[in-house]
Amino acid sequence: MFRMKMPSSQPHRNKGLILFLAAFLGITIFWQFILLLTDWFWFQEVGYEQIFLVSLWSKAAAAFIFGLFFFLIFFSNLYLADRFCRRINRNNEQNIYPFPLHLPSVGSLSNFIISISILFSVIAALRATDQWENIQRFFHATPFNINDPLFHIDISFYVFKLPLLQNIYSWLFSVLLLTAVSTGIIYFLRGSFLFYPPKTIQILPAAKKHMLIIIATLFFLGSFGFWLQLLEILFTKRGVVFGPGYTDATTQLWVLRMLVAISIFCGISIIVFAYQKKWQLPAFTLLIFFLFLFVGRGIYPSLVQKLKVVPNEISLERPYLEKNIKYTQIAYNLNNIVDREFPTEDNLSQADLRKNDLTIKNIRLWNHAPLLQTYSQMQEIRTYYKFIDIDNDRYLIDGEYRQIMLSPRELSYSSLPSRTWVNEHLTYTHGYGVVMGPVNRISREGLPEFFIRDIPPISSTNVKITQPKIYYGEKSNDYVFVKTRRPEFDYPLGNKNVYSSYDGKGGVSLSFWKKLLFATRFGSMTILLSDDITSGSRIMYYRDINERISHILPFMQLDKDPYLVITPEGKLVWFVDGYAVTKHFPYSEPTPGVGNYIRNSLKATVDAYDGTVQLYISDPNDPIIKTYARIFPDVFKPLSAMPRELQRHVRYPEGMMSIQARMFRAYHMEDPQVFYNKEDLWTIPRKFAQEKNEEMQPYYTIMKLPDESKEEFILLLPFTPSNKDNLSALMAARCDTPNYGKMIVYHFPKQKLVYGTRQIEARIDQDTEISKQLSLWNQGGSQVIRGSLLAIPIEKSILYVSSLYLAAEKGQLPELKRVIVAYGNMIAMEENLEQALQRIFGGGFAKDLETPPTNKQVKLDADKEQTDRQIGLKALDHYRRAQNSLRQGNWSAYGEELEKMSDLLKKLENR
């Protein structure tokens, strides 16, 4: 055999490559060590060391196991290839390579094999650390106690075990494929592929057997892959059904089972071919394999779907639609929604409004966007303070249950007048205070009233703030240092600034070595060199509340709308909702970005001053959160363990209802025939706006549900029929204990018109008085902003309320100028809610709103003589009704209304 001499530079090249790889691995490991150690300090601070240690050991175990198996598979095959192959005889003139080849020496190739095997094994190990969660879920799975309808396996298998099996299969297939290619390269470099002119290739026996055994192993593994595909068919969609419908159930189940068996036969036949030179058997099995793969998996089901299912879709898909409806309802917790009828009546009276005065007082007039602008102009005080969002909540204000709107005043680091390192990380460390006000009160200037305002916070009610500093929020920077020699900016006071020093328990304590570690992590030598940072100082990082919770619970999906709560002690505490989600719930329709199963299983709180995180299980029946509670037994607390004062501020998340409502639009139809024809499909009403046409968002209110005796905090969202604007239903989620989380859908009568929000908006536009006023404002260089129209159930009627804001064309201070109330065929626009209600229902409603009257008082008030203004308003109302009847051509109603107007005017004349 001919051995070609290797150039003298080759050993140096291999050595340089090995040194480069070693340096790369060293830097990667060092950086990971820095992140790991500083994260350990942080987990010690927040008190969740168990999560850190369990996940660390799980990652280490996954890395070791996957890395070891990769090395054993990859290195052993390359090593055997290196030993089995023979050198070609270059003196044989018939053996010609199609391109110049420099053959490496035995020693250099062996070193290269070891180096590349170690490198790939380390990469495989690092990538395998992501599987720690799947491994833990596999071994701590909690049963759902619900079987899938096709294979009758508990759903926990698909949620907790199938993902790991899928990843193991993909990983093994990739490893074997890489090993096959690399082994082929080794054999090629060792000359086991012989090339003869003109186009003949011969593989030496050892190489042939080895390569065929690897290929056979791929087929054996493929049988496992087809078994997984058999299970994954539960999450496919073909036609009208999500999940296996008629076509998949009748064609794909047996085809996939056949492919499982055929793959095994292919592997056996290839091994037989490796030791015997009979190619007919593997050729036949491979032909059958590809026939089933392309025809059975592609052509056959397509033909069945087009030629048999589509012409008879509803009759063939009916049983599968039933499964789809049932399991989607379970996955989104729609099966626990209570359906009730709402027999709407048009007899709402002044007495009914008095009975529901707490509902009236808590109708939200202020929309989030204009109120946020107004708060920003009136209460940010300095340019570096920002209001990020407006939160709705409820408090007991001076003994009365009130809905409020609250916004924390956070520090915006991008708006600092001087963005030096000292300012961003030592001086400006926290936001300060909140703004809070009622949802329905308006000043004479059209501006909001405040319960809490200014810096330091001034409160006009019993809700006080004793600790207004916000170190942890929605707009915090990466890290700050507290308890340093440099005083922290607290708040401005006239031409001076007030400074303070942090005295809480938040942050990680420092030493010289820790300063060195954090300087490396954050890439700032200033941390190490600053004289202001002492051994008594602390560093706060992961200050963004969502990032803070996500770092503790990376497996939970967090709501995008955290909200701040003022405790009775005057502290500020953030609430964050967490969702348990999966995309492996059989027969359930998926939601983009979420999956096809969701539960609001987590309520997390974060102290805005010291960063303390508490985690509570809000849905103890959810198997996903129960599985994580098994993995981390000391982490989660029951919701009952939350302080009672905080429990009063737990609310049903808007994000959760939005997802459920989108699914409920179609999946409230339980009859497959109705579902298939979309006969009762609902939609979520669109907002009425000049530029955008977005769906309405759920809105909070305090109201008394039908057949209930007490007002409570409710989340509402209306539905309309598809392609129509009238109301079809109203979804309500209860937020107060002991009914938290219970959902009710009120169905409106189909035989009676109940105005939808867009219909009311259209009627507002058609009202000549309102239209004239809006045109006047728009022509005067002002911008009219239409607020959201809210549908508020009161007794057996629906009251519609909206607000109109006026802003200068280039101004940023919207003023709430008018409130529009619609009821039945009547619409009123006045300066405030009380006057609008009075115009529709008459009576001295504004005067009586503050104190709920007794039944006896209501009767006495109804018998009192009315004032001149009230009589005049009633006469005007009859005049408008007469005009409406005239436009409709209803002459009898026109005459009746004119007669009633005449009687009232005569009564006024005789006073």
| pLDDT tens, residue by residue, 264-276 | 999 999 999 988 8
SS3 17: helix
Helix (H) or strand (E) holding 402: strand 400-411
Nearest to 574 by CA among 541, 610, 533, 545: 545
Per the structure block, which two tokens stand in for 39? 């994260």
pLDDT for residue 634 is more than 70: yes
pLDDT at site 891: 64
pLDDT at site 890: 66
Q: How confident is the model at residue 611 (pLDDT cuts 50, 70, 90)?
A: very high
pLDDT for residue 869 is more than 60: yes
| 8 A C-beta contact, residue 41 and residue 138 | no
Average pLDDT over residues 667-678: 95
Percent of the chain with pLDDT over 90: 68
How far is it, in rounded angstroms, from Cα 634 to Cα 692?
47
**β-pair partners for 404:** 393, 438
pLDDT for residue 88 is more than 60: no
- Nearby residues of 673 by Cβ (< 8 Å), 6 or more positions away: 314, 318
Name the average pLDDT for the chain: 88
Other C-beta atoms lying within 10 Å of the C-beta of residue 852? 14
pLDDT for residue 193 is more than 60: yes
pLDDT at site 851: 36
| 8 A C-beta contact, residue 906 and residue 887 | no
pLDDT at site 889: 63
Lowest mean pLDDT among 114-118, 447-451, 592-596, 620-624: 114-118
Residue 140: what residue type? H
Per the structure block, which two tokens stand in for 197? 């002119």
Q: Give φ, ψ of 149 to 5 degrees.
A: -80, -5
pLDDT at site 328: 97
pLDDT at site 845: 52
Q: Where are the alpha helices (DSSP H) in 558-638?
A: 623-631
DSSP state of 37: H
pLDDT at site 2: 37
Q: What pLDDT digit, counting tens, does each position of 135-146 carry?
A: 999 999 999 999
Per the structure block, which two tokens stand in for 183? 């082994």
- Nearby residues of 416 by Cβ (< 8 Å), 6 or more positions away: 384, 423, 424, 428
- Nearby residues of 606 by Cβ (< 8 Å), 6 or more positions away: 472, 545, 548, 549, 573, 574, 576, 612, 613
Nearest to 189 by CA among 9, 10, 8: 10
Nearest to 270 by CA among 199, 208, 349, 332: 208
Lowest mean pLDDT among 54-58, 65-69, 97-101, 795-799: 97-101
**β-pair partners for 616:** 603, 637
| 8 A C-beta contact, residue 467 and residue 527 | no
pLDDT at site 113: 85
Nearest to 485 by CA among 420, 536, 539, 524: 536
Other C-beta atoms lying within 10 Å of the C-beta of residue 294? 11
pLDDT for residue 691 is more than 80: no
Other C-beta atoms lying within 10 Å of the C-beta of residue 681? 17
Per the structure block, which two tokens stand in for 31? 């950086």
Helix (H) or strand (E) holding 379: helix 368-379
Q: What pLDDT digit, counting tens, does each position of 529-561 carry?
A: 999 999 999 999 999 999 999 999 999 999 999
pLDDT for residue 428 is more than 80: yes
Nearest to 484 by CA among 526, 438, 545: 526
pLDDT for residue 444 is more than 90: no
Nearest to 881 by CA among 823, 833, 838: 823
How far is it, in rounded angstroms, from Cα 824 to Cα 884?
13
pLDDT at site 699: 96
Residues shown for the chain: 911
Name which residue leads in pLDDT, 204 or 730. Answer: 730
Nearest to 490 by CA among 505, 503, 502: 502
Q: How confident is the model at residue 27 (pLDDT cuts 50, 70, 90)?
A: confident
Q: Which residue has the tokens 């998340």?
A: 653
| 8 A C-beta contact, residue 170 and residue 134 | no
Nearest to 784 by CA among 757, 815, 829: 815
Q: What pLDDT digit, counting tens, does each position of 201-227 carry?
A: 777 788 888 999 999 999 999 999 999
Nearest to 876 by CA among 823, 826, 822: 826
The β-bridge relationship of strands 815-823 and 572-582 is unpaired
Q: Where are the alpha helices (DSSP H) in 140-279?
A: 155-156, 162-189, 205-232, 246-247, 253-275
pLDDT at site 565: 97
Q: Give φ, ψ of 486 to 5 degrees.
A: -90, 130
pLDDT at site 871: 77
pLDDT for residue 692 is more than 90: no
Q: CA separation (Å) from 762 to 198, 515, 722, 821?
A: 83, 64, 18, 14
| 8 A C-beta contact, residue 853 and residue 351 | no
pLDDT at site 780: 66
How far is it, in rounded angstroms, from Cα 234 to Cα 162?
12
Lowest mean pLDDT among 395-399, 508-512, 881-885: 881-885
The helix/strand count (H/E) of the chain reads as 30, 34
Q: Which residue has the tokens 């004119």?
A: 898
How far is it, in rounded angstroms, from Cα 168 to Cα 827?
65
pLDDT for residue 300 is more than 70: yes
Average pLDDT over residues 871-889: 73
Q: Give φ, ψ of 122 to 5 degrees.
A: -65, -45
Other C-beta atoms lying within 10 Å of the C-beta of residue 339? 10
Q: How far apart are the first and last CA of the chain?
A: 129
pLDDT for residue 105 is more than 70: no
pLDDT for residue 866 is more than 50: no
Considering the entire predicted model, what is its pTM?
0.87
Q: What pLDDT digit, counting tens, does each position of 117-128 carry?
A: 988 998 899 899
pLDDT at site 4: 41
pLDDT at site 93: 47
| 8 A C-beta contact, residue 283 and residue 272 | no
